Every structure is written in C-alpha cells, then in structure tokens.
Amino acid sequence: MVDAAARQEGLLEERSHARPFLLNGFKWAVGVILPLTLALGWELAVYAELSNGRLLPPPSRIFAEFVSLARSGDLIFHASATLGRVYAGFGLGALIGTALGALSGASIGARRLLDPTLQALRAIPSIAWVPLFILWMGIFEASKIALIAVGVFFPVYLGVADAIQSVDRKLIEVGRVFRLSRFAMVRRVLLPAVVPSWITSLRGGLGLGFMFVVAAEFMGASEGLGYLLVDGQQLGKPTQIVAAIIAFALLGKASDSVLMLFARPFLAWQDTARARL
C-alpha cells in the first residue's frame, strides 16, 4: 500500500511538472497561427497568379533568401552587429533612465528641475538627433549607440518616475506604523510596487531600441540588419528587404522573451489575472 501510494504521488508530481510545459507549448502554437495563416495565404495567392510576387515576395522566396544569407554567413554577421548595438544602447539608456526616473519620482525638487526639460526633449523626433550625433561622435559605433540609448531612455524614465509617484500612500503609512527603516521601506514596500511598472517600461524601451537601431544603421553603417535593408533597396532586392524585416521581428521577440525570463523571479509574488491565464 505504501509503495502504491508513493507511485501515485510520483505520477501526480510528474503530471504537475508536465502541465506547465504542455500549456506553454499550446500558447506558443496558438501564437504562430496568425503569421502562418497569412504566409500560407500569400503563398497560395502568388501560386494562383493573383499576384506576381515581385514587390512582396512569397514566403518560399523569403525562406530561400534566409537560407542563402545563413549559408554565406551574412545573416549571423549582420544580426550580431545589430544585437550588439541594441544591447549596448539598451543597457546605457535603461541605466540612466532608471536612475533619473527614480530621482524624479522620489524627489519633488528633482522632478520640478528635470521633468520639464526631459519632457521637451522627448518630443524631438529620433531622426533629428542623427546629424547632431554624427557631428559630435562621427559615424562610427558611439553615435549609433547614443541614438539607441536616447530611444530607450524616455520610456524607462517615464515608467519608473510614474511608478514611484503612483505608490499607494496607505502602503507607506502601514510601513511607518510598523516602524520600518528607510532601507526596509524601500525593500518591502516601494520595490514590490515599482518593479512591475519598471519591467513594463524596460520592455517598451527594448522595443524602441530595435526601432532606433534602424535609424542608427542608416548613419553610414556597413554592417547590421539596417544595412541589409538599405542594400536591398539600392539593389532592388525585395526578398532581402523582407528577410531583414522578419529578422528584426524574430530578434525583437526573442530579446523580449529573454527579458521576461529574467524578470519572472521578481514578479513571482504577484497574484494577478495575468498570472492565472
């Protein structure tokens, strides 16, 4: 009887571990239904000669272009250059945005001093920074990373500052009632309240980093996925252009998933509707 109960308990434990894996696999499968349906529909439209597929190539030609770029090593080379720039700019912009956002959110004086200027700078289009950064730092990596950092900075700054200002005052009063020290107040009250919004702002900043890297790689770059876009446009190669766009999408989604993977332990305490879906 004891052995049977132990075996039954083991089976239940194995099922409990397998269930999240199956659930994640199902969610992933559902997520690819729409792009696969659109791709298949366009492939059939070109096959049925409803379109010649010259300006927007069918998926079969784009896949062949991917294979060609991968075999030549160009895909890895250009994707690595783009990722290096995005991650460097993201790290710099997120660090400065978090620091100034925390300062602006926690201090009324700092907010009155910094926020008007930063809000005005936020309204400047990204492309407007390009000639200035080239003049200051040249056309090499420094100007490209600086432009990406600018794109990442503002959503992170706004997210952190707003999260700190939006902390429920009752939570702080409860902490004071329990005579929490300043360090304990930050660790047990402020951080749990701010971290979810901070993670969301980091995701937004990462997405803008991939958008800004295109403008950055238009600044005389000889490598990167943005260079592939320009090269494809100049040579009249729509398959290369679409392949580079899809590569941007895949790298952006993969980077966002990695960010959420690292953030998951910091959000494990939440009991929200999203956690149950």
pLDDT of residue 210: 92
What does the DSSP 8-state code read for residue 227?
H
Residues of the chain with pLDDT under 70: 1-28, 269-277
Residue with token string 């420094």? 142
User: Of the candidates 253, 219, 255, 243, which has an alpha carbon nearest to the alpha carbon of residue 72?
Assistant: 243
Mean pLDDT in the chain? 82
Q: What is the pLDDT of residue 11?
A: 46
Q: What is the pLDDT of residue 191?
A: 77
What is the residue extent of each domain of the chain?
73-276
Cβ atoms within 10 Å, residue 54 = 9
Residue 2, pLDDT score: 44
* CATH number of the 73-276 domain: 1.10.3720.10
Note the pLDDT tens digit of each residue in 47-72: 887 878 787 888 889 899 889 988 99
What pLDDT does residue 95 have?
A: 96
At 15-39, the pLDDT tens digits run 544 455 455 555 667 777 888 888 8
State how far the Cα of 148 lies from the Cα of 216, in Å rounded to an integer.
7
Check: pTM over 0.85? Answer yes or no.
no
Cβ atoms 196, 264 nearer than 8 A: no
Tens digit of pLDDT for each residue in 1-17?
Answer: 445 544 555 544 445 44
End-to-end CA distance of the chain: 38
Chain position carrying tokens 């004086």: 109
pLDDT number for residue 251: 94
